[in-house]
Amino acid sequence: MTTPVLGVDIGNTTCSVALYRQGQVDVVTNAQGNRSTPSVVGFTDVEPLLGEAAKGQLSRNPQNTVVDVLLLIGRGYEAPEVQAALKRWRFRVTAGKDGDAQIEVQLKGEAKVYSPQRLLSLLLAHLRAEAESYAGVAVKDVVIAMPPHFNEAQRNALKEAAQMGVRCRVLQTR
């Protein structure tokens, strides 16, 4: 039996995951039975939260719940899209030393700074773990959908997040 291939489609609000195995595509349901998982990363005094758990704390802990990670990836702090979104976000976004957007949160009572790539990598690792639990086998090959409108910096940042989060070989296609 061949190992399944995991396909991930990341959006600003939700992610969808599917497995390709034995010639069939099977959409993965998460632990809550949903066919999509919120693209949300949250932090508490105890642990990081991902997906449904992070979305569940959004109303009571908005300053430590990050949404729209995909919007931030590969963009500088001064990018018009980032500046426009700052008005609606309750979490803190600042400029890093090279002008990149970075997210500041509290985790276990300590201030932490994360790149959008690192936060996306946490979400990707979570999605892979859910898919492996669903399939009952380890997933070795992962395909991540690249939004067609991404520029080169965004593409590279998404590849970096993928390599951190799912520890996969990234195949570049044009």
Q: How confident is the model at residue 146 (pLDDT cuts 50, 70, 90)?
A: confident
Note the pTM of the prediction, 2 decimals: 0.91
Q: What is the pLDDT of residue 1?
A: 57
The mean pLDDT value of the chain amounts to: 90
Neighbours of 128 (CB within 10 A): 20
**Residue 144, CB half-sphere, CA atoms under 13 Å: how many?**
29
Q: Are 43 and 112 in contact (CB under 8 A)?
A: yes
**Residue 54: pLDDT over 80:** yes
Closest CA to 174 of 139, 148, 153: 148
Span 89-99, average pLDDT: 94
Span 122-129, average pLDDT: 93
Q: What is the pLDDT of residue 148?
A: 87
Q: Are 64 and 51 in contact (CB under 8 A)?
A: no
Q: What is the C-alpha separation between 161 and 43, in angstroms, rounded?
A: 19
Strand 5-10 versus strand 141-144 pairing type: parallel
Q: What is the pLDDT of residue 174?
A: 38
Helix, strand, or coil (residue 134)? helix
